[in-house]
């Protein structure tokens, strides 16, 4: 991982602890990204074995979250970090929570594929495209996190608007499909739930971008419009 411009401490051990936790976050992020990408693939290929593997791997994501959270708690108790160090630890805790939720989203999609096996399928091409966009967003947010790159985080943050528009389009398609074939309603409702899950993945990736801004700039931009975020950051320059 590219070294962040973190404060250097008298205690080299403290630096090592921070670096170690950051690396663990990226390991967890890589696993979650793989899970989400595989889940989208199962939607397209109806790969039941891969869907079952996603379900099984979710336990690894949960274990990593607990491990990192425990290490962050230990750092707070032992080191009593302040200023940017405390912001970093808090950003990590929040990030792994959103990563765990994204892992849950991958599991939910895999469950939908298993539940809908051998049943009438609504058109899923649009959902796959939306899914690929969210995977790309997640990858780029993790890259921004590794470098704590505010500009990159802002660019990823913008992408959620496209995910929202795709979600609205998918819902319209699925409603039309249900009206044309009422027998498909149970399956379509499952797919609608997964489309909503993917839309929430986009929101959670936005959260990760906001945590990057929080760490680097010391500004809490949650529940802030993009326009106001840009104004806030421009005022700091």
Average pLDDT over residues 94-105: 98
Q: How many structural domains does the chain have?
A: 1
Query: Rounded distance, CA 32 to CA 115, Å?
Result: 22
Tell whether the model's pLDDT for residue 23 goes beyond 90.
yes
pLDDT of residue 188: 85
Is 129 within a domain? yes
Tokens 């990408």 sit on residue: 37
Q: Which structural domain, as residue segments, surrounds residue 197?
A: 12-236
Tell whether the model's pLDDT for residue 11 goes beyond 70.
no
Is 2 within a domain? no
Is 3 within a domain? no
- More confident of the two residues 3 and 84: 84
Percent of the chain with pLDDT over 90: 64
159-194 confidence digits (pLDDT tens): 999 999 999 999 998 898 888 888 888 888 888 998
Query: Rounded distance, CA 211 to CA 195, Å?
Result: 25
Is 1 within a domain? no
Query: Rounded distance, CA 178 to CA 181, Å?
Result: 5
Q: What pTM was estimated for this model as a whole? A: 0.90
Sheet strands (E) in 78-142: none
Tell whether the model's pLDDT for residue 7 goes beyond 60.
no
Is 183 within a domain? yes
Is 4 within a domain? no
Query: Rounded distance, CA 146 to CA 5, Å?
Result: 11
Is 77 within a domain? yes
Tell whether the model's pLDDT for residue 2 goes beyond 50.
no
- Which of 30-44, 121-135, 143-157 shows the lowest per-residue confidence on average (mean pLDDT)? 121-135
Is 5 within a domain? no
Q: What is the CATH number of the domain that holds 218?
A: 1.20.58.220
H-type helices in 9-82, by residue range?
Answer: 12-45, 48-79
């Amino acid at each position: 991982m590219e070294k962040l411009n973190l404060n250097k401490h008298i205690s080299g051990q403290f630096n090592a602890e921070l670096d170690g936790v950051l690396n663990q976050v990226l390991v967890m992020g890589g696993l979650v990204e793989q899970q989400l990408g595989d889940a989208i693939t199962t939607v397209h290929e109806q790969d039941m074995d891969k869907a079952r593997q996603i379900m099984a791997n979710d336990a690894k994501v949960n274990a990593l979250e607990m491990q990192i959270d425990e290490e962050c708690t230990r750092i707070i108790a032992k080191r009593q970090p302040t200023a940017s160090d405390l912001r970093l630890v808090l950003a990590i805790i929040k990030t792994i929570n959103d990563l765990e939720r994204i892992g849950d989203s991958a599991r939910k999609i895999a469950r939908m594929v298993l539940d809908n096996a051998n049943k009438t399928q609504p058109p899923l091409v649009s959902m796959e495209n939306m899914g690929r966009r969210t995977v790309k967003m997640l990858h780029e947010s993790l890259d921004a996190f590794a470098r704590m790159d505010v500009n990159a985080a802002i660019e990823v943050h913008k992408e959620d608007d496209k995910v929202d528009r795709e979600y609205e389009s998918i819902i319209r398609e699925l409603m039309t499909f249900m009206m044309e074939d009422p027998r498909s309603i149970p399956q379509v409702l499952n797919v609608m739930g997964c489309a909503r899950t993917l839309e929430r993945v986009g929101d959670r990736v936005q959260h990760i971008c906001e945590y990057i801004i929080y760490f680097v700039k010391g500004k809490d931009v949650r529940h802030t419009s993009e326009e106001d975020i840009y104004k806030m950051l421009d005022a700091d320059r």
